[in-house]
C-alpha cells in the first residue's frame, strides 16, 4: 500500500559497515542519488567496494541486468565529510549502537549541515528513537528506519515514530522504504519497537525451559523446527545473532521497562557470555562451531523426514471442542481409525486410546475403558491427572503442517498409555518426543508467550495486528503471522496455557494480556468462532 508521499531523491547514509553498505545498496538501486559516509577512510572504501561487488554478483545471478547495475553504481558516491550531505533529503545513520554517538551525529547534521526539511533516520534496533531525536534541532524530522540484517535480503523495514516525529517525516521514510522494495510497517517508539519486542519470548521462554530441565536445548530447537515450522530453533538463533548481543538487548529491555518480569534476562545467558561462548562468531555458543564456519547446520544432525500416515485400526475417543481436537479427529479418520465422541463410546469395545482435549470444559460422558492421553494445555499432566495412569501430549494447529508431537509422562503413567500414544501419533505421520511435564510442554509455552507479548503490544498501540504479523514473517522468518497463528490455535487454548503456567509457577511473566483475556471472555476465540485478533469469513 502506498504511503501517499514520494521517496527521497538524495539519500545520505552515515556508516559504511555491513548494515550501512547494505542500506546504501538499496538506496542506489531504488533510484536515489546515494552518498555513503564513514569517518574512517578505509571503512568507506571497503563499503563502496562491498556494494560494487554485490551489484556485480546480482548480474551474475540474473537478479539485475548489466545496465541496471551500472546505473545503480553511477548513483553511488562517497561522502568523505558529513558536509557532503548538505543536499540530502534523507540521512540514515548506521552508526554503532551508542546513544551519545548518535545524538552527537544528529545534533551536528541538523544544526550545521542539512536543510530544515531533511529527515534524519536512525537505524537503531535497541535505543529509543525519541532519545536520539532529542539532540536534533528539529526532533519532529527524526524517525526510526529499522532495517533487518542483511538489508538487501530481508524484506521488512520497520519505520518507527518517536514522540515528536511528524506525519510528513514518517511518510517520507515509508515511501523511501517502499521504493527500496521493502514491506514497510509502522511502529510506535518503545523497547524493541514492534518486531523485536514481540519476539522476546522466543529466546527467553526457551531459556526458561532449559533452566527448568523440561528438555535439552538441542531438543527444544528440534521441537521448534519440526513441531512449529521454524527455520531455526531459539538457541541456534541466539548463536547466530550473538549470545552477548541478545543479552545486551535483554538488559536494555529490562532496564527501559523498569523491571518488567516478562523481559527479565536469563542467568543462563549471563553464564554463557561470561564463559566467552558468544555464538558462531567465537566458535562456540550454545553449540560448538569450532571445527566449521561453513555449512550453517553442520552443528546439528539432519532432521528426520516425514512419516507415512496410515495403519490405524480400532476405536479412538476424542473429548473436547477445539481446533486441535477437530484436526486430530480428521487426521485419525484419514489414517484408518474409527473416531467417536465420549458419549458415542458407551457400550462399545474398549478404545485403543482416549484423547482428552477438554481444556477444563465439562465432558458429557466418563473417559474410561482404555489408555488415556491428556492435552497439557490448561495445566501440567501432574495437575490434570494427579496420581493417574495417563500420559500427556501437546501440539499446535495447523496440525497438518507439524511433523512432531510432544509427549510427557508422570511417575504413575501406564506403559500401555505411552505405547498407545506413540503408535497413534505415528499412524498420523508424526514423530514423537518425550519432554518434561509443564503446561504447554515446549512449543506451546514458547508460541503462547509470543502471542501474549504481541497482544500486549497490540493493546498498547505499538502497531496494528496486520503489521505485527507482517513483521514476524518478513523480519524474522516466522512460519506464519503470530496473531493469525493464535486465531488458528484458538485463543481459549492460548489463554489456558498461560493461566496454567501462572497457576503452577506463580510468576508474573505468565500473566495474560488483558486484550487476550477480553477476547476469550467475549467468545471471540479465533477462526472457529469467526473472530479473534482478526475477522475470518471462511
| Catalytic positions, written as ranges | 125, 146, 158, 196
- The CA distance from 342 to 358, in Å, is 11
Give, for 75, the enclosing helix (H) or strand (E): helix 66-75
Among left, alpha and beta (phi > 0; psi -120 to 50; other), residue 336 is left
- The CA distance from 81 to 83, in Å, is 5
Specify whether the CB–CB gap between 486 and 526 falls below 8 A. Answer: yes
- The CA distance from 63 to 55, in Å, is 9
DSSP class per residue in 445-503: HHHHHHHHHHHHHHHTTSS-HHHHHHHHHHHH--SS-HHHHHHHH-HHHHHHHHHHHHH
Q: What grid cell was written down for 283?
A: 566458535
Q: Which residues, other chains included, contact 460 with Cβ-Cβ below 8 Å and sequence gap of 6+?
A: 188, 190
Ranges of H-type helices in 230-337: 234-241, 243-256, 267-274, 323-334
* For helices 482-489 and 443-459, angle between their N-to-C axes, nearest 10 degrees: 120
**β-pair type (391-394, 353-356):** unpaired
Specify whether the CB–CB gap between 67 and 45 falls below 8 A. Answer: no
* Half-sphere exposure of residue 304: CA atoms within 13 angstroms, side-chain side: 13
Sheet bearing 119-122, strands edge to edge: 76-78, 33-37, 10-14, 90-93, 119-122, 142-147, 156-161, 183-188
Specify whether the CB–CB gap between 116 and 138 falls below 8 A. Answer: yes
- CA 499 from centre of chain: 22
* For helices 200-212 and 443-459, angle between their N-to-C axes, nearest 10 degrees: 140
In degrees rounded to 5, what are phi and psi of residue 199?
A: -85, -5
Please name which of 240, 248, 233 lies closest in space to residue 289, comparing C-alpha atoms. Answer: 240
Amino acid at each position: 500500500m502506498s504511503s501517499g508521499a514520494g521517496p527521497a531523491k538524495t539519500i545520505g547514509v552515515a556508516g559504511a559497515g555491513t548494515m550501512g553498505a547494505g542500506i546504501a545498496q538499496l538506496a542506489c538501486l531504488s533510484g536515489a542519488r546515494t552518498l555513503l559516509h564513514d569517518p574512517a577512510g578505509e571503512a568507506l572504501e571497503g563499503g563502496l567496494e562491498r556494494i560494487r561487488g554485490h551489484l556485480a554478483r546480482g548480474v551474475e545471478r540474473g537478479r539485475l541486468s548489466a545496465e541496471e547495475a551500472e546505473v545503480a553504481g553511477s548513483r553511488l558516491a562517497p561522502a568523505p565529510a558529513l558536509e557532503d550531505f548538505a543536499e540530502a533529503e534523507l540521512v540514515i545513520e548506521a552508526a554503532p549502537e551508542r546513544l551519545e554517538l548518535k545524538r552527537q551525529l544528529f545534533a551536528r547534521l541538523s544544526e550545521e549541515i542539512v536543510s530544515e526539511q531533511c529527515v534524519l533516520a536512525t537505524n537503531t534496533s535497541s535505543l529509543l528513537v525519541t532519545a536520539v531525536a532529542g539532540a536534533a534541532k528539529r526532533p519532529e524530522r527524526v524517525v526510526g528506519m529499522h532495517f533487518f540484517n542483511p538489508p538487501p535480503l530481508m524484506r521488512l523495514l520497520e519505520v518507527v515514530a518517536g514522540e515528536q516525529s511528524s506525519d510528513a517525516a514518517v511518510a517520507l521514510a515509508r515511501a523511501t522504504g517502499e521504493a527500496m522494495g521493502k514491506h514497510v510497517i509502522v511502529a510506535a517508539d518503545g523497547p524493541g519497537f514492534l518486531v523485536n519486542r514481540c519476539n522476546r519470548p522466543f529466546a527467553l521462554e526457551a531459556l526458561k525451559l532449559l533452566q527448568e530441565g523440561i528438555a535439552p536445548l538441542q531438543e527444544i530447537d528440534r521441537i521448534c523446527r519440526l513441531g512449529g515450522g521454524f527455520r531455526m530453533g531459539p538457541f541456534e538463533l541466539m548463536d547466530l545473532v550473538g549470545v552477548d548481543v541478545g543479552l545486551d538487548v535483554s538488559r536494555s529491555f529490562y532496564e527501559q521497562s523498569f523491571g518488567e518480569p516478562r523481559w527479565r534476562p536469563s542467568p543462563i545467558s549471563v553464564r554463557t557470555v561470561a564463559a566467552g561462548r558468544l555464538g558462531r562468531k567465537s566458535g562456540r555458543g550454545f553449540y560448538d562451531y569450532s571445527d566449521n564456519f561453513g555449512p550453517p547446520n553442520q552443528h546439528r544432525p539432519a532432521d528426520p523426514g516425514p512419516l507415512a500416515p496410515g495403519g490405524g485400526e480400532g476405536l479412538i475417543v476424542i473429548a473436547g471442542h477445539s481446533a486441535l481436537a477437530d484436526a486430530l479427529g480428521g487426521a485419525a479418520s484419514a489414517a484408518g481409525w474409527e473416531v467417536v465422541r465420549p458419549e458415542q463410546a458407551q457400550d462399545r469395545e474398549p478404545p485403543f486410546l482416549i484423547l482428552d482435549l477438554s481444556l477444563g470444559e465439562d465432558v458429557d460422558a466418563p473417559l474410561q475403558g482404555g489408555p488415556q492421553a491428556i492435552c497439557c494445555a490448561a495445566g501440567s499432566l501432574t495437575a490434570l491427572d494427579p496420581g493417574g495412569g495417563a500420559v500427556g501430549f501437546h501440539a499446535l494447529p495447523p496440525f497438518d503442517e507439524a511433523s512432531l508431537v510432544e509427549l510427557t509422562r508422570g511417575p504413575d503413567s501406564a506403559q500401555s498409555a505411552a505405547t498407545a500414544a506413540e503408535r497413534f501419533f505415528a499412524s498420523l505421520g508424526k514423530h514423537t518426543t518425550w519432554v518434561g511435564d509443564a503446561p504447554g510442554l515446549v512449543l506451546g509455552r514458547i508460541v503462547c508467550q509470543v502471542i501474549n507479548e504481541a497482544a500486549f503490544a497490540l493493546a498498547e498501540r505499538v502497531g496494528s495486528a496486520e503489521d505485527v504479523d507482517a513483521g514476524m514473517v518478513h523480519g524474522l522468518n516466522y512460519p506464519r503471522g503470530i496473531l493469525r497463528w493464535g486465531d488458528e490455535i484458538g485463543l481459549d487454548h492460548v489463554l489456558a496455557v498461560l493461566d496454567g503456567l501462572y497457576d503452577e509457577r506463580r510468576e508474573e511473566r505468565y500473566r495474560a494480556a488483558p486484550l487476550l483475556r477480553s477476547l476469550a471472555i467475549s467468545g471471540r476465540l479465533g477462526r472457529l468462532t469467526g473472530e479473534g485478533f482478526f475477522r475470518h469469513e471462511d
